[in-house]
Amino acid sequence: MKGKRVLIINRGEIAIRVAKALNELGLISVGVWTDNETEPPHLEFCQEWVRLEGANNKDTYLNIPRIMKLIDDYKIDGVHPGYGFLSENREFSEALRNKGITFIGPNPDAVYKMGAKDISKQIAKAAGVPVVPGSTGEVGSIEEAIKIGNEIGYPILLKAVAGGGGKGMRPCANESEVKTNFEAVQREALSSFGYAGLLVEKYILNPHHIEVQILADRKGNVYHVFERECSVQRRHQKIIEEAPSPFIGNDEAVRKEICETAVKCARAVNYDSAGTVEFIMGEDKKFYFLEMNTRIQVEHPITEEITGVDLVANMIKGAFNQPLDFQSQDEIRIQGHAIELRICAEDPISMLPAPGKIAGFETTFPQGIRFDHCIYPKFTITPDFDPMIGKLIAKGFNREVALRKIQNALDGLVIEGIKTNIALHRVILNEENFRKGKYSTNYIGTVKPQDKVTPKEDLSAFMIKIAAIEQNGAKA
């Protein structure tokens, strides 16, 4: 495996993370730069740089023919897609397999089956995995959606078959809302994913979003690396994650059941890489299969922190048919608690993206803090990409210690020149329900921590005020 050339078809903090793992394993990390991002931070960590011609995502990170040409031109042995872009694209993984190039991700069949929400739900059900009541396949009309809603009871969720990232989803409390929302969700699904198909599911009230990390190799071994809780979300997109789940807490029977169920689900599609089986869990701790993400997740660091398992390195080793760092499930254990905050270039009150140029960036962290990021002073955040610019991670002996550490770390993170959600995170970390671990996916909508965010004083005005105070002090 050593000396093989691996192309990273991604950018930002995940490209940095992958490059570090490749370098550690003795492989040659090959990073890309594009015409609209000529000096991306991840190139500093890559051993070679190549140009991916084009000035937008369609022409670059999503352009399979152009990427395949790069593979030929630079004699690439393997490709790591990170997350997003082509990470869950069956056509891409098949094209690589047909050329004899190692795709550092699951086999194309698993990508296809678990990427289609209707098919994945059918597979999960056939494997004995509990699924949310609802349609078994795509729903073709408003009338059919209303019929299913009447059968399973309202509220229901209209959900894009090919969805992800919180898009193409809308709850409906009654028949009237189904009529109002059905075509709107179809349009959103078509615009976001190129396919308008919808599912209907029972909408679980006050649910918890619990996901189980899977790590499998190409020799038939499938392991779980325990669970994460991702219930603090805005627009169905996660902003805070914890491992292990504070809702499951010390209920080891539930933890064992959900983790073993995730393994069962992965085995049903002969899974052979890193991936995540996502569940929705009700207040009674009954859980239901939601979907499977056939890639490395944004929030993978907290699992690494509590288990010591390097998920990215093992994902790479498995893809090249090398043994994983462990040989049995019993070797993987939980030690401590970890919390991750997604640091985003967005308004902390409206939570909408706020691109711009970073004027200042400083960190003064307590011991043991991890900050996976892709920024530096004068770096420009553009609207071309996701607004997440970094992930702040803290591990503690228990949740109380982890909370203390992450709070101190947040106070030591200074990003000037752009709006960020740091102020929102600060409010949430001090909010009573969150501190007690009593929150669901409705947290942002019901507790409304954004309403308690104090708008940040303009930096220049602040500096003028400080100068005036100092001058007046000198005169006195």
Is the domain of 213 the same as that of 198?
Answer: no
DSSP 41: G
Q: Where are the beta strands (DSSP E) in 139-221?
A: 156-164, 167-172, 198-202, 208-216
Torsion angles phi and psi, residue 249, rounded to 5: 55, -125
Is the domain of 19 the same as that of 168?
Answer: no
> Mean per-residue pLDDT for 410-439?
96
> Mean per-residue pLDDT for 364-379?
94
Is the domain of 318 the same as that of 445?
Answer: yes
Output the pLDDT for position 186.
Answer: 95
Whether 273 has a pLDDT exceeding 90, the answer reads yes
pLDDT band at 160 (very low <50, low <70, confident <90, very high): very high
| Residues of the domain holding 28 | 5-104
Nearby residues of 31 by Cβ (< 8 Å), 6 or more positions away:
8, 15, 19, 40, 42, 43, 45, 46, 48, 49, 50
Domains of the chain: total: 3
Whether 459 has a pLDDT exceeding 80, the answer reads no
Output the pLDDT for position 476.
Answer: 47
Is the domain of 197 the same as that of 213?
Answer: no
426 is catalytic: no
DSSP 11: -
Output the pLDDT for position 201.
Answer: 92
- Per-residue pLDDT tens over the stretch 275-322: 999 999 999 999 999 999 999 999 999 999 999 999 999 999 999 999
pLDDT band at 471 (very low <50, low <70, confident <90, very high): low
Contact 363, 424 (CB under 8 A): no
Edge-first strand order for the sheet with 78-80 is: 48-51, 28-33, 5-8, 78-80, 102-103
Residue 112 lies in a domain: no
CA atoms within 13 A on the CB side of 329: 13
Is the domain of 175 the same as that of 216?
Answer: no
Whether 461 has a pLDDT exceeding 60, the answer reads no
* Among 125, 3, 138, residue whose Cα is nearest residue 76: 3
Is the domain of 230 the same as that of 314?
Answer: yes
Whether 85 has a pLDDT exceeding 70, the answer reads yes
More confident residue, 182 or 132: 182
- Taking the C-alpha atoms of residue 234 and residue 444, their distance in angstroms, rounded to an integer, is 6
Is the domain of 198 the same as that of 213?
Answer: no
Is the domain of 52 the same as that of 18?
Answer: yes
Contact 144, 136 (CB under 8 A): no
Residue 187 lies in a domain: yes
Q: Of 14-18, 159-163, 168-172, which has the strongest mean pLDDT?
A: 14-18
Residue 476 lies in a domain: no
Residue 90, number of CB atoms within 10 A of its CB = 18
Residue 85: both structure tokens together: 């872009």
Residue 470: both structure tokens together: 């100092």
* Among 289, 233, 300, residue whose Cα is nearest residue 258: 289
- Per-residue pLDDT tens over the stretch 164-193: 667 889 999 999 999 999 999 999 999 888
Output the pLDDT for position 192.
Answer: 84
- Per-residue pLDDT tens over the stretch 233-261: 998 899 999 999 999 999 999 999 999 99
- Per-residue pLDDT tens over the stretch 310-319: 999 999 999 9
The enclosing domain of 187 has a CATH number of 3.30.1490.20
Is the domain of 279 the same as that of 415?
Answer: yes
Residue 19: both structure tokens together: 């490059």
Q: Kindly report the average pLDDT of the chain as a whole number.
A: 93
The enclosing domain of 386 has a CATH number of 3.30.470.20
Is the domain of 228 the same as that of 141?
Answer: no
Given 295, 342, 370, 426, the catalytic residue: 295
- Per-residue pLDDT tens over the stretch 193-219: 889 999 999 998 899 999 999 999 999
**pLDDT > 90: what percent of the chain?**
88
Strand-strand pairing, 5-8 and 28-33: parallel
- Taking the C-alpha atoms of residue 280 and residue 276, their distance in angstroms, rounded to an integer, is 13
Residue 466 lies in a domain: no
The enclosing domain of 64 has a CATH number of 3.40.50.20
Residue 16: both structure tokens together: 């940095």
Is the domain of 266 the same as that of 148?
Answer: no
Is the domain of 193 the same as that of 221?
Answer: no
Residue 327 lies in a domain: yes
- Taking the C-alpha atoms of residue 221 and residue 218, their distance in angstroms, rounded to an integer, is 7
